[in-house]
Amino acid sequence: MELKKTEKPELKKVHSKVLQMVNYQLWSNIEALSRLKQKGKKIGKLRFKGAGWFKTLNYNQSDFRIEGKKLILSKVGEIPIKVHRPIKGTIKGIIIKREKSGRLFASVQVENEPQPLLPSTGKAVGIDVGVKHFLTDTEGRQFENPRFYEKTLERIGILQRKLSKKRKGSENREKARVRLACAYERLVNQRNDFLHKLSRFYASHYTIILVEDLRIQNLVRNRNLAQKILDASWGKFFQLLSYKAESAGGIVVKKNPGGTTQDCSNCGRKVPKTLGERIHRCPYCGVELDRDYNASLNILYAGLGRPEEPAETRPLQVIPASLIIEAGSPFATARG
């Protein structure tokens, strides 16, 4: 398939390099689907998506430049921009992305010299993620679960009902659609901001980070917890944590989650408990710990071995999500 300007007069205003990259992206997606089908994966039929679904344009290698607060694109002209951070290095490409709310973003691809790794702290930490608290670590910290979707759900429901009452094709329906898209966009931005700052904190302060190798797709089969698990975005947190730890000279180690909740971190004996029991009480050695703190210790010991001295039973430090999100907090300014 080739997009020809002679057959599509409306494409005369589109730069040829952009059309080539659209072609390349579409064929790459089709080839990836073909490889999955050859491996026995279930692949649905290709469907026509309709006009307006494609939301990215890729200016690769040339025909763009940035001058001050203006982005100049071939066959488009000058576009006023707001630069969020200084651009360092040689610009190799620019990807223009349109959100559903209508806002446009330009992602600048640069080539620069590798940055020196941060000095190794030599410290290790075990992390247990959860629903009540987003995570508990072996340093005795518990980070509050911000529950962004739960807090935004009422407003999203109101906007969805207003949208459904508008006549299709009307300007009022388009305005209602944009308001709903902005609400979802704000939700995603809040969640990403929280995950980026928290993962950067751990990547900057610890060389070895041990987490559970969770099968999240299996966990969300529980209908009572599925929404809360998806809202927490554990998978994305682990992904951000992995690449930030690597860039800082550290490593993320995933351990088998089996037994981390039920086993005693002090003596290693199995202590069965229900999901509602939030305190770990061992009848064999007498240790009493927060359930999630006990699990984080087991994750740490699974990678580094069990120490001879017993675990500390000090009260945990519960850190509210607002402290992580607000500008100027130690988590917002941590290196990583």
Residues 59 and 139 in one domain: no
Q: Stretch 55-64: mean pLDDT, rounded?
A: 83
Region 105-118 average pLDDT = 81
Of 334, 328, 318, 267, the closest CA to residue 140 belongs to 318
* 3-class DSSP assignment, residue 66: strand
Last residue of a domain, one of 86, 111, 136: 111
Q: Which of 141-155, 169-183, 309-323 has the lowest mean pLDDT?
A: 309-323
| pLDDT attached to residue 166 | 95
The CA distance from 22 to 27, in Å, is 9
* Residue 247 and residue 221 share a domain: yes
Q: What is the full DSSP assignment across 136-162?
A: EETTSEEEEP--HHHHHHHHHHHHHHH
pLDDT tens track for 146-158: 999 988 999 999 9
Whether residue 128 lies in the annotated active site: yes
What distances in angstroms separate CA 218 from CA 211, 225, 235, 245, 322, one per listed residue? 17, 11, 13, 27, 30
* Judgement on whether residues 128 and 63 belong to the same structural domain of the protein: no
| Mean pLDDT in residue range 30-39 | 89
- Does 57 reside within a domain? yes
Closest CA to 232 of 253, 218, 216: 216
In a domain, 208, yes or no: yes
Q: Give yes or no for a contact between 331 and 323, defined as CB atoms under 8 angstroms apart.
A: yes
- Residue 335, pLDDT > 80, answer no
* 197 and 317 together in one domain: yes
Q: Which of 104-113, 115-124, 203-212 has the lowest mean pLDDT?
A: 115-124
The predicted-structure confidence for 197-237, as pLDDT tens digits, reads as follows 999 999 999 999 999 998 888 888 888 888 888 888 999 99
Query: In whole angstroms, what is the distance from residue 180 CA to residue 188 CA?
Result: 13
Answer whether residue 15 shows pLDDT above 50. Answer: yes
Across 53-67, 107-121, 199-213, 218-232, the highest mean pLDDT is recorded for 199-213
Model confidence at 308, in pLDDT bands (50, 70, 90)? low
Structural domain for 75, as ranges: 9-111
Burial class (CB in 10 A: 0-12, 13-18, 19+), 33: middle
137 in catalytic set:
no
- 262 with 129, same domain? yes
Mean predicted confidence (pLDDT) in 158-178: 94
Choosing from 137, 231, 263, 292, the catalytic residue is 292
pLDDT of amino acid 313: 61
- In tens, the pLDDT along 259-287 reads 888 999 888 889 998 888 889 999 988 88
Q: What is the pLDDT of residues 286-295, one digit of tens each?
A: 888 899 999 9
- Whether residue 202 lies inside any domain: the answer is yes
**Residue 133 placed within a domain:** yes
Q: Are residues 85 and 55 in the same domain?
A: yes
Catalytic residue among 128, 137, 263, 290: 128
> 292 an active-site residue?
yes
Active-site residue among 137, 212, 263, 290? 212
| Residue 219 pLDDT | 86
Share of the chain above pLDDT 70, in %: 88
- Domain co-membership, 61 together with 136: no
Domain count, the chain: 2
Same domain assignment for residues 91 and 220: no
Scanning the chain, the segments in alpha helix (DSSP H) are: 16-38, 148-164, 171-205, 216-219, 226-232, 234-247, 291-304, 321-325
Please tell me the pTM assigned to this model: 0.82
